[in-house]
Structure 1
Amino acid sequence: MSAVSNKQRVIDAWQVFATRDADRVRDVFAPDAEWLAPADNATSRAIDGTHHLIGRDRIVRFLTEEFSTVFVDNVSIESGGFYADGDTVVVEMRLQATLAHGGHYDNEYCFIFELESGLIKRIREYMDTQRGAAWFRSPATADRLGRPEATATYR
């Protein structure tokens, strides 16, 4: 597949993820797909401690069931850019949401998608783990600290 068609597949996949429809989400992943995030990141700790999701069904469960138990309301995803080279697509994005404890979350991400035969084979996820963890502290702790953006330079 061309870089242009792979880029469009990933753009379309993000729209499918937002539906939380397990069948539709399942259709964009290869059966042996993997999703790798930094070890011990705050989202993985909030779910089950797993930062390396293996297999389409495990990834579907994360996107359609578990994600909404962590990011419970006001989920906003801003795309910063989609860049493709062959079967690799790089995505920049910003996620904002209300967390289960009622506090705010705001972090930027870089995802590297690897496609095979038009399906997502692997996603490598990168984010500021320290900033992410700061948002997961209780809202009172985040307020006492002056919010994470006051303690870190983030552009």
Structure 2
Amino acid sequence: MSSSDNKALIEQYFEVIQGRDSSRDLPDFFTDDVTWRVPRSNPQITPNPRVGHAAVMDLLHSGVSVYEAGSMSLDLQPLIVAEQQVVAQFTMRARLANGAAYINEYCFVFALRDGRICAVTEYLDSLAQSTQGTWEK
């Protein structure tokens, strides 16, 4: 796929995860062998990386329960595209399930193959994530 197709795919991915596009289901964005890596400083994500479609879907669904339903908003910066990679920087704001406010900066590096996401490397401030209560059970 072209760089512009890959950019459009990731733009649509962010629309879907924010509930603004229901034309495609979240699992359809990922290859069967997808990997998702988070910072090693986050002890809550094991194994790391998550490998395979089912493992990545489990990771994404478990993350949703941390936040109050409907409270998440993303301030997505312009995407950076280089052939089969797309970089997305964004600020996420949400209310945690315990009612506390959450804000953090993220950077996702997406690798794409044949019109689907085959790898994600996620960067964020894991200290801020921890001190704001996202790791509390």
Q: How does the TM-score come out when normalised to structure 2? A: 0.84
1:28 aligns with 2:29: yes
Over aligned residues, Cα RMSD in angstroms? 2.3
Identity of aligned residues (%): 26
Shift of 1:39: 1.6
Q: Is the 8 A contact 2:96 2:134 kept in 1?
A: no
Match of 1:147 in 2: none
The CA deviation string for residues 88-131 of structure 1, in whole angstroms up to 9 with x for no partner, is 00000111111122211100011100001111000000011112
Residues 84 and 108 (structure 1 numbering): CA distance in 2 closer, same or farther, change over 3 Å? Answer: same
CA distance in 2, matches of 1:102, 1:127: 21
Residues 50 and 70 (structure 1 numbering): CA distance in 2 closer, same or farther, change over 3 Å? Answer: farther
Match of 1:99 in 2: 96
What pairs up with 1:21-60 in 2 under 5 angstroms?
A: 24-41=25-42, 45=44, 49-60=46-57
What pairs up with 1:72-151 in 2 under 5 angstroms?
A: 72-73=68-69, 74-136=71-133
Moved over 3 A (4+): 48-51
The answer for unaligned runs of 5 or more in structure 2 is none
1:13 aligns with 2:10: no
CA distance in 2, matches of 1:120, 1:83: 15
CA distance in 1, matches of 2:59, 2:125: 20
Residues 94 and 50 (structure 1 numbering): CA distance in 2 closer, same or farther, change over 3 Å? Answer: farther
The CA deviation string for residues 63-109 of structure 1, in whole angstroms up to 9 with x for no partner, is 3x312211124111110121101000000011111112221110001
Q: How does the TM-score come out when normalised to structure 1? A: 0.75
CA distance in 1, matches of 2:26, 2:112: 15
Q: Which deviates further from its counterpart, 105-114 or 53-62?
A: 53-62
Query: Quick check: which has more Rg, 1 or 2?
Result: 1
